[in-house]
Amino acid sequence: MDKNKKIKESFINNFHIFENKLNGESKGDFHKTRNDAFKNFTNLDFPNSKNEEWKYTNIAPLLSQIFSIDKVDSKISKDDIKKYLLEGIDAHILVFINGDFSSELSLLKDINKGIRIDSIKDKLK
């Protein structure tokens, strides 16, 4: 089995694990959209340099990663992320931990009243 096929099967297996952990969250419209996207993914070949749309895209870094759906309950503090921040930068800082938005660790200054930054997961509940 070639490497691309193994990677694709890994994504498919992780999706099924994810689906089994959804419980009540599998009833909404977003779930249908996610399933439709997954069906499209399974019907396509995994991209490679022989595909015209992907021939200039290096997917080797993606293929070298091992992705897992298991959530690790990590407690990260502001001190833990301090070394990754640019000193003196005047900007909004959005922090995501394993794909989840962390409002506690993010720094949002003077945002217009009409703008909201929240977790999609929380808003879909």
pLDDT tens-digit map of 59-80: 888 778 777 776 666 688 999 9
Report the share of the chain in percent with pLDDT over 90.
10
Q: How far apart are CA 80 and CA 105, in angstroms?
A: 10
According to DSSP, the residues that pair with 102 across neighbouring strands are 95
| pTM, entire model | 0.56
Whole-number Å distance between alpha carbons of 96 and 105: 9
Position 1 pLDDT exceeds 60: no
Sequence ranges of the domains in the chain: 3-63, 78-123
Give the integer Cα–Cα distance in Å for 117 and 125. 16
What does DSSP say about strands 93-97 and 100-107: parallel, antiparallel, or unpaired? Answer: antiparallel
